[in-house]
Structure 1
Amino acid sequence: MSRDLRGYWDAEPAPCWPNGTRLAVSFVVNVEEGAELSIASGDERNEGRYEADDEVKGAPDPCMVSHFGYGPRRGYHRVVEALAAHDARASFSTCGRAAEATPWLIRDAVARGHEVSCHGWRWETHAGMTAEQEREIIARTHAAISRIAGTAPVGWHARSATSPQTRDLLKAHGGFCYDSNAYDDDMPYMDGDFVVLPYAFDTNDMRFSPGGGFVQPRDFSDYVIAGFDRLYAEGAQAARMLSIGLHTRLIGRPARIGALEAILAHITSHQDVWIAPRREIAACWAQHHGARA
């Protein structure tokens, strides 16, 4: 694996977002429900992390399955209504098996104008997979989401670590123009003619999970707003992008949804901000910076 620790060290790209806006904001709603590891679904083990670290080993876990069911049953409605109230379109990063388990949810997201991208087949890391395994997973996930969403996905983000060959396999598959399996910058960059849209685990509701540091809804909203304010200020001189990660089973809880509403209200109170799905951010970046590929 090669590493680039220099990045844009001495040549930061100037702002390039549409209509002179100074900051691109990407809301990512992760759709994993139905794709979490579960013996009841025929997997080798159960998912062990949700609101508590308590993996049931060797037997089906109806409790964990029920926790994940909260997202599509209840949390989804609160999240999409909050986004709609502020005319914000998101990227629904979706596991292939989750799309098959909740096709009505995926079609509703598309009808609302959101992007649906790929989040692997199951909700699992790709580290250690062979090229043959990954190639099959990429093709299967792309085909399922294309069929259910009615439009072909162009983005990819695997859970946590990829394998060293993941990006090359995405390029070879065709149809993908970006991935989000990087966490090393506050703006996109090019890998050849492929766009890398860095994601973020700090501005992410996953930190409501055990040990993540967020307890009260203001923990999340205050943190994200602080990140927004800093990037908004820097965006006057250089291109900047803010990623905000969401999960309907987490932020969609009644005690937490107010945090998302507060974040949206703060961001939309600034006129020169571009809230867009990741496929549009990737296309804009490639238009301005793809020539050096």
Structure 2
Amino acid sequence: MAQAIAESEWDICAHGWRWIEHYKLDPETETDHIAKAHASILASTGKAPQGWYCRYAPSERTRELVAGHGGYLYDSDAYNDDLPYWTEVAGKAHLVMPYTMVNNDAKFLAGDVFSSKDFSDFLIDGFEVLAAEADRVPRMMSIGLHSRIIGHPGRVAALVRFLDHLKDRDDVWICRREDIARHWMAEQPFRAGA
């Protein structure tokens, strides 16, 4: 898996060093785990993760520790918006790339959807609404995918149908979160107090 990631252009987001709750960690251990997650992914794949997103929930200091690490471009420990936004952390600009569980293949595990058709229809409907709104305001659609979930033939068919729906459109940018973050930084640079 690490070799496949190393040879790909996949987006790598650190999800934690171990499968634990960050909000239960003391500051020193959490700092250590954030650094170890970064180092482990870099050592395994040859690519540093650009984003951070806690499993479960972050602690009240996770964002500050991630920003202080210096190796992460953004964090996604937020469900409070549909577009990236800037915040100040310890007096420095920090980009937040909000995440959503709405368009996430975890719906298969939660029982929200059973068939790939249900999931692809849900994604297509969501996309069409956002595309219509994008005539007036910027829109971003995040789709959370996990190899252990979407990677089954009967489930990946949903992703194939969704991508087929988009393939002939010239008003769509299919990209990684890292690409969105870099675009946002270039087009919407941080402004103190804004």
- TM-score by structure 2 length? 0.91
CA distance in 2, matches of 1:268, 1:130: 47
Question: Which 4+ runs in 1 deviate beyond 4 A?
Answer: none
Structure 1 residue 162 displacement after superposition: 0.4
Q: Amino acid of the residue matched to residue 142 of structure 2?
A: S
Q: Report the alpha carbon displacement of residue 107 of structure 1 after superposing the two structures with TM.
A: 2.5
Residue 105 (structure 2) pairs with residue 209 (structure 1): no
Residue deviations 1:138-190 (CA, integer Å, cap 9, x gap): 11111111112212222101113100100100111112120111112211111
Computing the radius of gyration from Cα coordinates, the structure with the larger value is 1
Tell me, yes or no, if structure 1 residue 195 matches structure 2 residue 95. Answer: yes
Q: For residues 60-89 of structure 1, give each alpha carbon's deviation from its aligned partner in whole angstroms, at most 9, with x where no partner exists.
A: xxxxxxxxxxxxxxxxxxxxxxxxxxxxxx
Question: Separation in 1 of the partners of 2:164 and 2:72?
Answer: 32
Structure-1 separation of matches of 2:102 and 2:112: 10
Aligned: 1:113 with 2:13: no
Residue of structure 2 equivalent to 1:53:
none
Q: Which runs of 5+ in 2 are unaligned?
A: none
Shift of 1:235: 1.4
SS across alignment from 2:106? helix
3-state DSSP class of the match of 1:245? Answer: coil
Asked if 1:124 corresponds to 2:23, the answer is no
Q: Does the 8 Å contact 2:10/2:176 carry over to 1?
A: yes
Q: Where does the alignment leave 5 or more consecutive residues of structure 1 unmatched?
A: 1-104
Report the aligned-residue RMSD: 1.4
Please say if 1:179 is aligned against 2:78. no
- Note if contact 1:267-1:273 (Cα within 8 Å) is conserved in structure 2: yes
Task: Give me the whole-angstrom Cα distance separating, in 1, the residues matched to 2:20 and 2:139.
Answer: 29
What SS does the corresponding residue of 1:162 show, helix, strand or coil? coil
What's 1:161 paired with? Answer: 57
Cα distance, 1:108 vs structure 2: 1.2
Contact 1:106 1:148 (8 Å CA) reproduced: yes
CA contact (8 A) 2:166 2:172 kept: yes
Query: Partner residue of 1:36?
Result: none
Number of matched residues? 188
Structure 2 matches for 1:137-152, cutoff 5 A? 137-152=33-48
1-structure distance, mates of 2:153, 2:190 = 47
Structure 2 Cα separation of the partners of residues 125 and 233 of structure 1 = 38
Residue 231 of structure 1: aligned partner: 130
Alignment of 1:36-115 (within 5 A): 105-115=1-11
| Map of 1:251 onto structure 2 | 150
Identity %: 42
Higher RCO by CA contacts (8 Å cutoff, separation 6 or greater): 1
Which of 185, 188, 194 does residue 289 from structure 1 map onto?
Answer: 188
Aligned pair partner of 1:134 in 11, 30, 33: 30
Distance 1:197 1:140 in 2: 22
